Structure 1
């Protein structure tokens, strides 16, 4: 294999499995999203990532999530009492008093899990609205939609429900193609553990094959080290031989973005997605702790964004500047510039496998 081809492959490998729908049903028009976190995202700073993580641990049950103000770029932390608000202000962030804690919003999602676990649905926490934002795609039938509406209504203003176009589908991708088990896929980020090199990708890719190559039927470049899907959606492939594997993401314009750190995404922040089908698209983080009910099982703890994506993008890189954020899992498609891309938070995966970006 030539040095140029290896460099392209390892920049940021985007996996491409066939699209798998969640079922069929009556299409419904999308409703506007009234979330205060809507609009163009703002860039998060390293200090904001660190402060967000620290306050989440400090506030515990007195917190209700955080987001970036699209007008000022400030980190806004939702809290349920005055003492917690003072803690937030003393840290340098802006406090906002709300009526529902993260624990209460998670309890709402537990009800949805028990009573409305319908393929083609998704829900997650929007801290800017202090609500659980529920989406139903076009595959959700009229009877199922009626059931979902009834459950949402029973939960009152804690839930916001809307129809979205398309169908929630796993979309394998990340940068340049790799192949395994008859599927074309990709890695999101190259990672290391000591002297060993690996790439991360979607778990619904690594579930399909042990051996991976740069071209269909070509020589092996890596073997599956770990895989988790459903419930989670991540996989780890160990490079074999002596690969050239730079710690970058393919920008599909001849350039690459160096990746030097990893963080959890913050609602309201801007990010980019690199995928082999839609290449590089931009969007805003709109919800965290998201559940997506795929046809072959749910995934939990995901992040929802407005980045555009389509079949072939799963396993791709979600990133902001030099910070790795997530591994592309799927979406309900893209309407204009408004997508619904879902990613697996990458920090969780780094911890599970004991690897790091470089």
Structure 2
């Protein structure tokens, strides 16, 4: 049985200051008027936007929702990724990167930008790094994770201060194309978001004298059986969970972990789980807004890189940020390496693990796995990162259906 505690949190450096985003969903690209005023206010505050800037961003978000796939298809093999980007004048645009040398015209709000490496090439380089794990190896000490960074057109390997040589050796041993890989020095290794402090969420009481807290993700069903998804490191199959009505108060039993996936230290895997909820309880297809207004879950359309998302958790409440990268491999400070996480600038704290990431239009994105930085102090800042486990692989792994209010 795993035991969880709090770990210190400090942030990562921002790789691309112009890369700025906000959550979007292709099937839910409605007007900005459909977004609750409380959600708009939270986005403006946490993303540092004026009302006019947020409105202009939402137009670009809808443009991305409608045209992203077509623009990628038009580039063919030359496609090098797309993302929403904030320009120096504070406005936003959709950037489509291409390795093609031919002159191309773009629609209003879209920039075609030349790149050296195609998206397929970058993905292949990252896959080489991942192969080290699939062949039984592990991330060396000092190497904290790696991901495809679209704005910089590179694969980024995150290393601790003074650990650059460890990163160089790891890249060389993997056989990845060194021309497409670069190092990023970070202040702190990401850690799991479970701690012994209070807030809204759920608790485990394994009988060792401690209570262990996490946050509910999204309501789901397996056939007629109700439940919710959360992080795998929050508990093992069979463990009972209790509602937390107030800080560290053990409330009524609400269910038990039905299945959980999380690797042991030194191993590699996913970080997801689902909890079967007792029939006496009711699951609502909403995400709690902690005073910012609840958000109805309308679907699970995946947002693009550069899109804005908000997350909800028992410790830090409702926080917003942007998606920086997808499919990141993260090596946690406790020794576990997690695959296929999405990297965001939203802040989080210990105990927020398992909590919901959702777009302003109500599209469920995933559950918090871990992060670095803190929600204390001024937001946004350059030091905060959170990593979430995408929702769709969880639903597929356990044959679950997302409960929506649509």
Report the TM-score range of the alignment, normalised by the length of the smaller protein.
Answer: 0.7 to 0.9
Aligned to 1:273: 311
Aligned to 2:231: 202
Contact 1:118 1:293 in 2 (8 A): no
Q: Which moved more, 1:97-106 or 1:73-82?
A: 73-82
Aligned to 1:75: 94
Residue-by-residue CA offset, 1:5-37 (whole Å, 9 max, x unaligned)? xxxxxxxxxxx9523689xxxx9x965624541
> Is 1:105 paired with 2:122?
yes
Contact 1:78 1:97 in 2 (8 A): yes
Tell me the SS of whatever aligns to 1:236: strand
Aligned to 1:301: 340
Contact 2:12 2:385 in 1 (8 A): no
383, 388, 397: which one aligns with 1:343: 388
313, 317, 321: which one aligns with 2:356: 317
Pick closer, same or farther for the CA change 1:206–1:63 going to 2, 3 Å. farther
Tell me the SS of whatever aligns to 1:69: strand
Tell me the SS of whatever aligns to 2:342: strand
Contact 1:213 1:222 in 2 (8 A): yes
Deviation of 1:55 (Å): 6.2
Q: In 2, Cα distance between the equivalents of 1:110 and 1:164?
A: 22
Deviation of 1:309 (Å): 1.3
Deviation of 1:78 (Å): 2.5
Aligned to 2:37: none
Q: How does 1:39-78 map to 2 (within 5 A)?
A: 40=47, 42-43=57-58, 45=61, 48-49=64-65, 51-52=67-68, 61-71=77-87, 72-78=91-97
Aligned to 2:31: none
Contact 2:140 2:170 in 1 (8 A): no
Pick closer, same or farther for the CA change 1:61–1:297 going to 2, 3 Å. farther
324, 334, 337: which one aligns with 2:374: 334
Using the size of structure 2 for normalisation, the TM-score is 0.69
Aligned to 1:7: none
> Is 1:214 paired with 2:233?
no
RMSD: 3.7
Q: In 2, Cα distance between the equivalents of 1:240 and 1:292?
A: 34
Pick closer, same or farther for the CA change 1:262–1:275 going to 2, 3 Å. same
> Is 1:235 paired with 2:303?
no
Tell me the SS of whatever aligns to 2:167: helix
Tell me the SS of whatever aligns to 2:396: helix
Pick closer, same or farther for the CA change 1:73–1:225 going to 2, 3 Å. farther
Contact 2:239 2:256 in 1 (8 A): yes
Q: In 1, Cα distance between the equivalents of 2:63 and 2:260?
A: 32
Aligned to 2:53: none
Contact 1:187 1:201 in 2 (8 A): yes
Pick closer, same or farther for the CA change 1:205–1:81 going to 2, 3 Å. same
Pick closer, same or farther for the CA change 1:31–1:323 going to 2, 3 Å. closer
Q: In 2, Cα distance between the equivalents of 1:63 and 1:32?
A: 24
Q: In 1, Cα distance between the equivalents of 2:117 and 2:280?
A: 52
Give structure 2 stretches of 5+ with no counterpart: 22-46, 50-56, 133-137, 207-211, 264-268
Q: In 2, Cα distance between the equivalents of 1:357 and 1:49?
A: 23
Q: In 2, Cα distance between the equivalents of 1:320 and 1:118?
A: 35
